[in-house]
Amino acid sequence: MRTHSPLVGLALILALCAPVFGAEGETAPPAPGENAPPDPVTLLSARDYLDNNDNGDKIEVTWCLSADDGGGAGDVLEYRIRRSSGPGVAGEVVGTVPAGTTSFLDEGVEPGEAYYYDVAAFDGGSESAPAETGPVTGRRNFFQTSRLPVLVLAALFFAMVLTFTRLAQRGANLFVRRIPGLTAVEEAVGRATEMGRPVLYVPGIGEIDDIQTIASLTILSHVAKITAEYETPLIVPTARSVVMSAAEEVVKEAYAEAGHPDNYSPDNIRYLSDAQFAFAGAVSGIMLRERPAANLYLGAFWAESLLFAETGFETKAIQVAGTANVSQLPFFVTACDYTLIGEELYAASAYLSKEPKLLGSLKGSDWMKVVSIGIMVLGIVLSLFGVTGFAGWFFTQ
Amino acid sequence: MQVTLIWATLAAILTLAVYSFLYKDNPFYKFAEHLVVGVSAAYYLVIYYYNFIDPNVISPIFKLEFGGAPIRILGMQWWMALIPGLLGLLLYARFFPKIGWVSRWALGIYVGGYSGLEIAPVMQARVLDQIRGGSLPLVVPHDPSTSFTNILLVVGLLGTLTYFFFSLKHKGVLGVLARIGIVYIMVGFGASFGYTVMSRISLLIGRVDFLRQVADSWIQWLAT
């Protein structure tokens, strides 16, 4: 491995990494390969590369450009990267990169094996003297250090959630403000009962792994209890088979809890289609033919949101919607009577159920917002005093 | 007559049948609706089988092949196919009332697993990146425009976060901030509404253009 004294290294840094002044433009650059070999690269180093799915099979090689790349003779065409198993051993070319490039990711290394790398500048005719570095070993890393901020904030968040959950379990009175759209749900079901018409509950078209769908099923449980007590039919069309299974469980249990298990009708929990617009068409058909007096759209919605809301508006049903899909909220706000905006959907499920785990989550996320605001305000204050690196700590790969 | 013209004509007729809904519910719309629901159910059944069930369950367990490569029976990948496959089968236990409750195991593992996987990406995208993006200098020397934009952004961010704070009543300072927040939210919705309506109009134009092309093709065919 070639080494330089600190002064030589400094001189090379100044020569290679600073702009080149002087003779630029005075003579025409020679044709590739006509001159002596290009100057070698400097500050060559190699390190174990860390990414999200780190398997120890990647090594990143970095260097500072040859003096003849962008300056000097200006004839460097590419850099050739060689990998070998020992110092001074002739290595195989594992990659080439064009002039002006200062890094290369070798994605074909064996985890745990020690390697040496050399990088040579090539001008079309000859190569520079190779600079060599090593040994370097690719390792399977258990922890990605650049994601430390995620771990710290997640740990803080879960500590708060667990604390509030424990408090709720012990009977502490955890205040949650009233969400206006929720009052409307009971009004809507009451109106449907008076009119002798069914209630339509659409839990969105998200899969069961979507948090919005899970929140929606919690609200469905509350709605099903009311419809069970009022003996009002409840229609739940779904676009996902697993969501249908979950909805069946939820509604059946709610009817049993309300003391009306016999009123539960499995035929009203319907799987229609996975295709977005086939589902939209079928739900629109239900609205027109079964004429529900209350339409509740709570969950994950996409482009079908306006089709539902407009058709429901045409049938003069009272409509309550809620979704965390920001792009669809404007349509619900426009065409529905009440709308739960974004996180209100999650808060609604906690508010209605009073379930300690949901209350703990809601409280935890509330205080996480306070922490976020505090950190932002600190970052803003520090930036007023010229300290700008603070926000950089939150940068993750 | 070209075969493609027949299919295009069929598509045009179905398009018109769906648009007839704008007048009122009618047999043409009902036919188109039932057709698309039925066809899509069959289509997705085939898609799910060939894209998910066959490569991830059937092939590894019975053909000992995963991703085109052979695997060992009772090996890690074999078990990785068998266990989720069995959990999937448990979902059908609901058809047998006595053991219907075991279907909840599969649902619980599915929901819990996905919720856990979501935590780190959500924490990064919705908390960390927002904190980083919101830590802006309110006064940028010699750049009043950027200073104004940063102030606007920070005030909006704080107001919006306050609106979604559920642990206290929105009164006093909190009420003022929440009010600012809802104004920002509604301005955002207005912009989003206009943008999406524009894209929907372009979809409509595309469909009307398709009908025009089909009509043109018929005229040309009749002329020849």
Per-residue pLDDT of chain A (397 residues; tens, 9 = 90+): 344 444 444 444 434 444 433 334 344 455 544 567 888 888 888 888 877 667 788 888 888 888 888 777 778 888 999 888 888 777 888 888 888 888 888 888 888 888 999 888 888 888 888 788 888 888 887 777 777 888 899 999 999 999 999 999 999 988 988 888 888 888 999 999 999 999 999 999 998 878 899 889 989 999 999 999 999 999 999 999 889 988 998 999 999 999 999 999 999 999 999 999 999 999 999 999 999 999 999 999 999 999 999 999 999 999 999 999 998 999 999 999 999 999 999 898 888 878 898 899 999 999 999 999 999 999 888 888 877 777 777 766 5
What average pLDDT does chain B have? 91
Asked if A384 reaches chain B (Cβ–Cβ under 8 Å), the answer is: yes
CB contact under 8 A, A368 and B127: yes
As beta bridge partners, residue A93 has A82
Nearest to A395 among B132, B167, B196 (CB): B132
Q: Where are the alpha helices (DSSP H) in chain B?
A: 3-19, 27-48, 76-90, 103-122, 129-134, 144-163, 172-223
State the total domains in chain B.
1
> Can you tell me the mean pLDDT for B90-105?
85
- Say if residue B112's pLDDT is above 90: no
Nearest to A246 among B107, B138, B157 (CB): B107
Q: Is residue A279 within 8 Å of residue A244, measured between CB atoms? A: no
Q: Using CA coordinates, name the residue in chain B closest to A363.
A: B167
In angstroms, the CA A156 to CA A134 distance is 40
In the prediction, which pLDDT does A35 show?
64
- If you write DSSP's letter for every residue of A130-180 in order, what string do you get? PEEEEEEE----S--GGGHHHHHHHHHHHHHHHHHHHHHHTT--------H
Asked if A330 reaches chain B (Cβ–Cβ under 8 Å), the answer is: yes
In the prediction, which pLDDT does A14 show?
39
In the prediction, which pLDDT does A323 show?
95
- Say if residue B132's pLDDT is above 90: no
In angstroms, the CA B216 to CA B223 distance is 10
Nearest to A369 among B39, B135, B165 (CB): B165
Asked if A146 reaches chain B (Cβ–Cβ under 8 Å), the answer is: no
Report in angstroms the alpha-carbon separations of A173 from A215, B163, B167: 22, 22, 11
Report in angstroms the alpha-carbon separations of A119 from A36, A40, A111, A212, A362: 18, 8, 21, 52, 55
Tens-place pLDDT, residues B138-197: 888 888 999 999 999 999 999 999 999 999 999 999 999 999 999 999 999 999 999 988
Residues of chain A with CATH 2.60.40.10: 6-137
Does the predicted interface ipTM exceed a cut of 0.95?
Answer: no
Q: Which residues of B touch A331 (CB under 8 A)?
A: 193, 196
A370: three-class secondary structure by DSSP = helix
Tens-place pLDDT, residues B31-66: 999 999 999 989 999 999 999 999 999 999 999 999
Interface mutation vs chain A, best among B131, B140, B173, B180, most A CBs within 10 Å? B131
Asked if A366 reaches chain B (Cβ–Cβ under 8 Å), the answer is: yes
In angstroms, the CA A283 to CA A91 distance is 66
Q: At residue A327, what is the residue type? A: S
In angstroms, the CA A237 to CA A287 distance is 11
Asked if A316 reaches chain B (Cβ–Cβ under 8 Å), the answer is: no
Q: pTM (2 decimals)?
A: 0.74
Q: At a CB cut-off of 8 Å and minimum separation 6, what does B128 contact?
A: A149, A150, A153, A394, A396
In the prediction, which pLDDT does A179 show?
85
CB contact under 8 A, A285 and B30: yes
Domain of B175, in residue numbers? 143-224
Dihedral sign for Cα atoms in the order A167, A172, A177, A181: positive
How many cross-chain Cβ pairs, A to B, lie less than 8 Å apart? Answer: 166
Q: Which residues of A touch B91 (CB under 8 A)?
A: 242, 245
Distance from CA of B59 to the nearest CA of A (A): 23
Q: Which residues of B touch A284 (CB under 8 A)?
A: 21, 33
In angstroms, the CA A160 to CA A176 distance is 16
CB contact under 8 A, B190 and A344: no
Q: Is residue B52 within 8 Å of residue A241, measured between CB atoms? A: no
DSSP state at residue A320: E
CB contact under 8 A, A208 and B107: yes
Q: Which residues of B touch A291 (CB under 8 A)?
A: none
Residues of chain A with CATH 3.40.50: 174-354
Which is more confident, B38 or B119? B38
Interface mutation vs chain B, best among A346, A376, A385, most B CBs within 10 Å? A376
B171 backbone φψ class: left, alpha, beta (φ>0; ψ -120 to 50): beta
Interface mutation vs chain A, best among B34, B166, B170, B189, most A CBs within 10 Å? B166
**What's the distance, Cα to Cα, between the start and end of chain A in Å?**
32
Q: Is residue B127 part of a domain?
A: no
CB contact under 8 A, A376 and B164: no
Tens-place pLDDT, residues A120-161: 888 888 888 878 888 888 888 777 777 788 889 999 999 999
Q: Is residue B197 part of a domain?
A: yes
In angstroms, the CA A110 to CA A227 distance is 63
CB contact under 8 A, A363 and B136: no
In the prediction, which pLDDT does A1 show?
39
In the prediction, which pLDDT does A145 show?
75
Q: Is residue B156 part of a domain?
A: yes
> Can you tell me the mean pLDDT for B80-91?
91
Q: At residue B55, what is the residue type? A: P
Give the position of tokens 């085109």.
B68
Q: Is residue A329 within 8 Å of residue A233, measured between CB atoms? A: no
In the prediction, which pLDDT does A9 show?
43
Architecture per CATH, domain A174-354, reads as 3-Layer(aba) Sandwich (3.40)
Q: At a CB cut-off of 8 Å and minimum separation 6, what does A329 contact?
A: A323, A339, A341, A342, B189, B192
Q: Is residue A127 within 8 Å of residue A120, measured between CB atoms? A: yes
With the CA atoms of A106, A111, A116 and A120 taken in that order, what torsion angle do they form, in degrees rounded to the nearest 10? Answer: -10
CB contact under 8 A, A177 and B166: yes
Distance from CA of A388 to the nearest CA of B (A): 8
CB contact under 8 A, B110 and A242: yes
Q: Using CA coordinates, name the residue in chain A closest to B194.
A: A330
Provide the CATH topology of domain A6-137: Immunoglobulin-like (2.60.40)
Q: Is residue A286 within 8 Å of residue A292, measured between CB atoms? A: yes
CB contact under 8 A, A285 and B25: yes
CB contact under 8 A, A379 and B135: yes
CB contact under 8 A, B107 and A273: no
